[in-house]
């Protein structure tokens, strides 16, 4: 496939698609419930503003967190002044929505009312707010017991202005970066991504009118830019200049993405280029059709979590592997690799979640993917999505030579919110499962 075809297909596959109509329907239902109480207007869908990635039109398929401002009547301000005002307004909004969604989880969470729709894995965060004359909003914060200012319209306007100036490439790149974030498990909020993409385009005009044929170089240069960003706690958001916090370091994975971009560019025109771009952006990159199914000597049994569940990374998870063999002291795989030691056959492998920022309850899924000539000859590439052997643990065994990969997925409320992977290079002999103890 040509590079332009790869990126055209990627962006097509990342489109929100049918999700947009479902989001709009939920949004209007919420607005009707709140307008009935606050404005006495039956069936009205006014006084709402979609913000966040959906409002900036940078969301992608799988988006699960949706942000909505409900604009309160101005004459109600005096009623909700004082320390108790923020909690009282949020509780009133919660009660209105509980009456509308009697079997749905609706709760107050500091600055918003959250609605978790189990049927389609959407979580709406509704922020009741008073509009100011400059277009900003005062929103309630129950922790601070006061009203604070937010300026989402300025962020929306800055996104649109940059997108118009760059021939829609700002939104194209923002969506690609979200795909990379979800594929590699980088915990970055949508506003931070859009702010960094905006900053990238403010430093270069090379891609202001670029077509899909140049997107490989645009991606390469963006990851180089991201890799070189100094570590800091926050950025000033595009447009609003309000603080947007950095949840986790993104520079190391940006470096890996940059390296893979270089490799993919070198492979241009070959079927292996598609696979390399998949390592950057995930399964939304199409595979090449040049290799016939009939000519393959092994079954392609790999599964993709994106085909099963929405993926919207908002948390962090880390995994490692405890390697043991009779008569030897257990060793952690990441330490082995760091010290230059290779994993050999006949080792017991215990893959474990070592850190996770997500609050319980959640479920952990795994994928064990074998690669290399030996895995293909034995028809054992595996790659299916499987459950834990026990809580937060997957038990395996090193069996034969190859570059193997184990991935971990943290699933909460039907959405993959965190993921991590570890490479498992076996020097003289796939990884095969071991019965749970």
In tens, the pLDDT along 360-414 reads 999 999 999 988 787 888 888 889 999 999 999 999 887 766 678 999 999 999 9
Going from N- to C-terminal start, the domains of the chain cover 13-150, 162-291, 300-433
pLDDT of 437 > 50? The answer is no
| Position 198 pLDDT exceeds 70 | yes
Does residue 289 have a pLDDT over 80? no
CATH code for 300-433? Answer: 2.60.40
* pLDDT of 250 strictly over 90: yes
Q: Which tokens hold the place of 188?
A: 């970055």
pLDDT in tens, 73-87: 999 999 999 999 999
In this predicted structure, the answer to whether residue 280 has a pLDDT above a threshold of 50 is yes
Return the CATH fold of 13-150: Beta Polymerase; domain 2 (3.30.460)
The whole-number pLDDT of residue 371 equals: 81
The structure's pTM equals 0.91
**pLDDT tens per residue across span 216-237:** 999 999 999 999 999 999 999 9
Percent of residues, the chain, with pLDDT higher than 90: 77
Q: What is the dihedral of CA 213, 217, 223, 227, to 10 degrees?
A: 180
Residue 251 to residues 2, 260, 387, Cα–Cα distance (Å): 29, 14, 31
């Amino acid at each position: 496939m040509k590079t332009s075809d790869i990126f055209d297909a990627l962006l097509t596959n990342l489109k929100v698609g049918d999700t947009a109509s479902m989001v709009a329907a939920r949004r209007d239902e919420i607005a009707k419930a709140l307008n009935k109480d606050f404005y006495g207007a039956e069936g009205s869908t006014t006084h709402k503003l979609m913000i966040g990635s959906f409002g900036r039109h940078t969301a992608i398929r799988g988006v699960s967190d949706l942000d909505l401002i409900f604009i309160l009547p101005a004459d109600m301000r005096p009623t909700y002044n004082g320390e108790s005002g923020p909690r009282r307004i949020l509780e009133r909004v919660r009660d209105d929505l509980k009456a509308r969604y009697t079997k749905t989880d609706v709760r107050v969470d500091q600055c918003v009312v959250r609605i978790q729709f189990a049927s389609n894995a959407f979580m709406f965060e509704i922020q009741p707010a008073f509009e100011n004359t400059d277009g900003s909003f005062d929103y309630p914060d129950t922790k601070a017991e006061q009203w604070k200012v937010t300026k989402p319209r300025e962020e929306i306007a800055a996104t649109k202005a940059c997108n118009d100036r760059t021939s829609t490439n700002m939104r194209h790149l923002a969506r690609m970066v979200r795909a990379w974030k979800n594929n590699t498990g980088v915990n970055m909020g949508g506003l931070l991504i859009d702010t960094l993409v905006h900053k990238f385009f403010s430093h270069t005009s090379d891609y202001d009118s670029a077509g899909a044929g140049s997107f490989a170089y645009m991606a390469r240069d963006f990851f180089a830019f991201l890799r070189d960003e100094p570590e800091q706690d926050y950025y000033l958001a595009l447009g609003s200049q309000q603080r947007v916090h950095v949840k986790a370091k993104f520079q190391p994975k940006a470096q890996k993405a940059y390296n893979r971009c270089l490799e993919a560019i070198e492979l241009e025109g070959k079927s292996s280029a598609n696979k390399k771009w998949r390592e950057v952006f995930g399964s939304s990159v199409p595979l090449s059709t040049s290799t016939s199914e009939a000519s393959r000597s092994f079954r392609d049994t790999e599964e993709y979590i994106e085909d099963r569940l929405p993926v919207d990374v908002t948390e962090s998870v880390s995994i490692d592997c405890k390697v043991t063999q009779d008569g030897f002291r257990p060793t952690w795989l990441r330490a082995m690799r760091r010290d230059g030691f290779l994993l050999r056959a006949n080792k017991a492998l215990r893959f474990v979640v070592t850190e996770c920022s997500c609050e319980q309850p959640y479920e952990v899924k795994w994928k064990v993917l074998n690669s290399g000539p030996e895995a293909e000859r034995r028809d054992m590439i595996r790659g299916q999505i499987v459950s834990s052997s026990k809580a937060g643990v997957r038990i395996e065994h090193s069996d034969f030579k190859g570059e193997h990969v184990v991935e971990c997925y943290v699933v909460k409320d039907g959405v993959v919110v965190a993921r991590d992977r570890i490479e498992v290079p076996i020097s003289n002999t796939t990884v095969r499962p071991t019965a749970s103890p």
